[in-house]
Amino acid sequence: KNFRNEGMDKTHNPEFTCMELYVQYKDYNWMMNFTEKLLERICIAVNGSEETTIDGKTISFKAPYRRLPILDAIKEKTGYDLNGKSEEEIRQVCKELKMEIDDTMGKGKLIDEIFGEFCEGNYIQPTFITDYPIEMSPLTKRHRDNPELTERFELMVNGKELCNAYSELNDPIDQLERFEEQMRLSEKGDDEAMIIDKDFIRALEYGMPPTSGMGIGMDRLTMLMTGETTIQEVLFF
């Protein structure tokens, strides 16, 4: 059971059920392959085919799914290329897009707001949004080809996030620097920033193998597979 005090609507509940898994010596590419096979198999078991219907829309869980870097998604939907942009440049983009922002928002939060407002709701068929900027992903390993990005994906289905997964960060020095940056964001007023977890750092110093981890929301998964449109219909189940 997870609890996040983020309000309630048709697809959100503060307390929800999450399945988490971690696999050593794997990365987020392996986890994407695993996820699409898992969901295809679940859909066939529940519905007798790779398709389910929700809100009058037919959603196909047949693998493979589209894989789209988050900054490419933003460029596709807004026309703005945020690659290499500074916090101030992204803040200016938000103003041009007539978004409500405030001074507590760092670079990662600004990008997240743009994606949430202009992109997220458009992905009805399963789509892996990948390669999040490092500012958005304090627990995620840096991307092997671009140190400004991370090896992370979120799976969007019916306009909502279903899964969140990483190549886990297992470098204690890098992790401590990320936590320190989170503390700086907290001092600016970001109420979602993390604190420094010294026990976690110490555990990493003892050693952690390369690992891929994922969390998948079971209530939303049940909604999708059974065609329910409100989370309250499945919470007790």
Q: How many whole angstroms from its chain centre is CA 85? A: 21
Q: How many whole angstroms from its chain centre is CA 2? A: 16
pLDDT tens, 125-181?
999 999 999 999 999 999 999 999 999 999 999 999 999 999 999 999 999 999 999
Distance CA(5)–CA(194), nearest Å, equals 15
Residue 10's pLDDT band (cuts 50, 70, 90) = confident
- Omega before 64 within 30 of 0, i.e. cis: yes
The residues that bridge with 165 in the sheet, in sequence order, are 153, 214
pLDDT tens, 75-95?
999 999 999 999 999 999 999
Do residues 52 and 231 touch, judged by C-beta distance below 8 A?
no
More confident residue, 229 or 43: 43
pTM here is 0.92
